[in-house]
């Protein structure tokens, strides 16, 4: 164990804050970086202030449009200033393979000279309680262009547990861990589970992709983000995210948390009231 701090990017995000909390619980010094602290992954002038003296980095791109050269430059600078480990939050793509953007980030970390670990999670369960699916749940209807496709939603806490293991333990260098929940669910099934947990009736309405795109555009979302969202839901309609991955079991020696357990905890917090 070292007294050097571990840098956590996106420290106010769904996984970042959980990683930071778990490291603190272990007694490890943590340096939390986010836009609210003045850090900008796309701003090299802000890098050295957070990288000086750190031993390991939990690297969250923080913006899906960050160029590969930015991630590559940040990773190289981290190693130059003494970081020995980099744990990158990537994502599963179609058929388990990452998207071109994610591949670029993964290649940048691999070429950094650090001991690297790559995490490729499925969709976060917390999207229903901490992100863009929260308002539809509160309104009582999930209206999405997902059809009857399935996704193996993963609890962000499981991602954080794997990340902390990779940041603090030996044996994870050079590993790519695909992470998913223990079951693949349709959005109709997630709505039913949340209904049971919250005591509030939640419905699911399957939209046509064009309807969904029009709704997002009407909310003022930029065209490139509307396109990305459309691709994500197209993958779900095609069951591209339905396969189960063994990363949680490989790293932690236990099964990932079921969606129903997540839903009970989220409901108890009052977030859907």
pTM of the full predicted structure?
0.94
- Domains of the chain (ranges; CATH) run 6-123+154-180+243-257 (3.40.50.720)
Pinpoint the alpha helices (H) of the chain: 16-25, 47-51, 68-80, 100-110, 127-130, 134-139, 156-168, 187-198, 209-218, 223-237, 247-252, 259-269
Q: How many helices (H) and strands (E) does the chain have?
A: 12, 10
Separation of alpha carbons 179 and 154, rounded Å: 7
Place of tokens 């571990």: 6
Other CB atoms within 10 A of residue 44 CB: 12
One digit per residue, pLDDT tens: the chain, 273 residues?
568 999 999 999 999 999 999 999 999 999 999 888 899 998 999 999 999 999 999 999 866 556 678 888 999 999 999 999 999 999 887 655 666 667 778 998 999 999 999 999 999 999 999 999 999 999 999 999 999 999 999 999 999 999 999 999 999 999 999 999 999 999 999 999 999 999 999 999 999 999 999 999 999 989 988 988 998 899 999 999 999 999 999 999 999 999 999 999 999 999 999
């Amino acid at each position: 164990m070292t007294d050097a701090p571990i840098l956590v990017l996106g420290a106010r995000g769904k996984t970042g804050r959980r990683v930071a909390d778990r490291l603190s619980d272990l007694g490890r010094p943590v340096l939390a970086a986010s836009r609210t602290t003045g850090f900008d992954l796309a701003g090299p002038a802000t890098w050295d202030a957070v990288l000086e003296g750190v031993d390991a980095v939990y690297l969250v791109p923080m913006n899906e449009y960050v160029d590969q050269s930015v991630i590559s430059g940040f990773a190289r600078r981290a190693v130059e200033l003494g970081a020995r480990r980099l744990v990158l939050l990537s994502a599963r793509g179609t058929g388990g393979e990452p998207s071109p953007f994610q591949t670029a980030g993964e290649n940048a970390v691999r070429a950094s000279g650090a001991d690297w670990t790559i995490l490729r999670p499925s969709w976060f369960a917390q999207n229903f309680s901490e992100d863009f699916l929260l308002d539809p749940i509160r309104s009582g209807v999930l209206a999405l262009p997902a059809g009857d496709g399935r996704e193996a939603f993963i609890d962000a806490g499981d991602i954080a547990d794997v990340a902390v293991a990779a940041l603090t333990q030996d044996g994870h260098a050079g590993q790519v861990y695909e992470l998913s929940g223990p079951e693949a669910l349709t959005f109709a099934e997630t709505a039913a589970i949340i209904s049971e947990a919250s005591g509030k009736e939640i419905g699911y309405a399957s939209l046509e992709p064009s309807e969904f795109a029009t709704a997002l555009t009407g909310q003022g979302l930029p065209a490139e983000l509307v396109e990305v969202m459309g691709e994500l839901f197209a993958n779900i309609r095609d069951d591209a995210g339905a396969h189960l991955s063994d990363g949680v079991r490989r790293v932690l020696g236990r099964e990932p948390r079921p969606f129903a357990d997540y839903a009970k905890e989220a409901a108890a917090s009052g977030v859907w009231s």
